[in-house]
Amino acid sequence: MMITIPQLLSAAEVRHFRDRLAQAEWTDGRATAGHLASQVKNNLQLPEDSPASRELGDLVLQALGRHPLFLSGALPLKVLPPRFNRYEGGGTYGPHVDAAVFSVPGTPHRVRSDLSATLFLSEPDEYEGGELTVSDTYGEHSVKLPAGDMVLYPGSSLHHVTPVTRGARLASFFWVQSLVRDDAQRALMLELDGAIQQLAVDAPGHPSLGRLTGVYHNLLRQWSET
């Protein structure tokens, strides 16, 4: 299941991110890739321990915590500190599947990559190419969103970024360990939550609201891993 999160960042926040990233020193993105991934990865990345990366990563985490669609769609248990990349001059990332588990730098903690996330920081008309293309059982899906919007997709998906032939594509990317590991179960939880929210608007006080909310929490109780 792919979920588009609109306006995770406001226009003012995007401008702040762009200003900070314009002053940042970028390094070869292959330095953080595994042996196989490094053979298909050609981009720039902000060092994870740089002041800009830590500051902007914290702002992304704050934005995630206040966005209801992210909370209901991801059911997050852990979020890996966000990272930042830049594609330009033909930069690309060939077909790959993300690592199953990531270590949190400077800690003994690990995050299972149930969900992968890309937060776009460049407007679509600022660059050519750069589509995030995700393959699943229904085919390939290309994503190129406005700055400030984010897409979530299963970490198990085969995906790639097409070559950027004009301009520069800036983005933040990270991984989420969900309370509910299974993608199909998370999709059901999101659908049920959306139905409950709509019923609360259309028929406030309806007796079914309490029953459906109980079903939601009992399913979460049954499926969640903590």
Is 109 known as a binding-site position? no
| Least confident range of 40-44, 119-123, 137-141, 174-178 | 137-141
Beta bridge partners, 117, equal 152, 174
Can you tell me the mean pLDDT for 174-179? Answer: 98
What whole-number percentage of the chain has pLDDT above 90? 91
Can you tell me the mean pLDDT for 121-127? Answer: 98
Whole-angstrom Cα distance, residue 27 to residue 47?
Answer: 7
Q: What's the confidence (pLDDT) of residue 34?
A: 66
Q: Measuring CA to CA, which residue among 199, 216, 210, 214 is closest to residue 75?
A: 216
**Helix 51-65 to helix 11-22 angle, to the nearest 10 degrees?**
160
Q: What's the confidence (pLDDT) of residue 33?
A: 67
Please answer whether residues 83 and 57 qualify as being in contact, where contact means their C-beta atoms are separated by less than 8 angstroms.
yes
Q: Measuring CA to CA, which residue among 76, 141, 69, 138 is closest to residue 111?
A: 76
Is 159 known as a binding-site position? yes
Please answer whether residues 70 and 152 qualify as being in contact, where contact means their C-beta atoms are separated by less than 8 angstroms.
yes
pLDDT of 207 over the 80 cut: yes
Beta bridge partners, 102, equal 111
Q: What is the mean pLDDT of the chain?
A: 95
Token representation of residue 213: 């909310």
Please answer whether residues 178 and 189 qualify as being in contact, where contact means their C-beta atoms are separated by less than 8 angstroms.
no
Can you tell me the mean pLDDT for 177-184? Answer: 97
Instruction: Give pLDDT tens digits for 42-87.
Output: 999 999 999 999 999 999 999 999 999 999 999 999 999 999 999 9
**Three-class SS string for 46-96?**
CCCCCHHHHHHHHHHHHHHHCCHHHHHHHCEEEECCCEEEEEECCCEEEEE
Q: In residues, how long is the chain?
A: 226
pLDDT of 218 over the 70 cut: yes
Q: What's the confidence (pLDDT) of residue 119?
A: 98
**What is the value of pTM for the model shown?**
0.94
What whole-number percentage of the chain has pLDDT above 70? 98
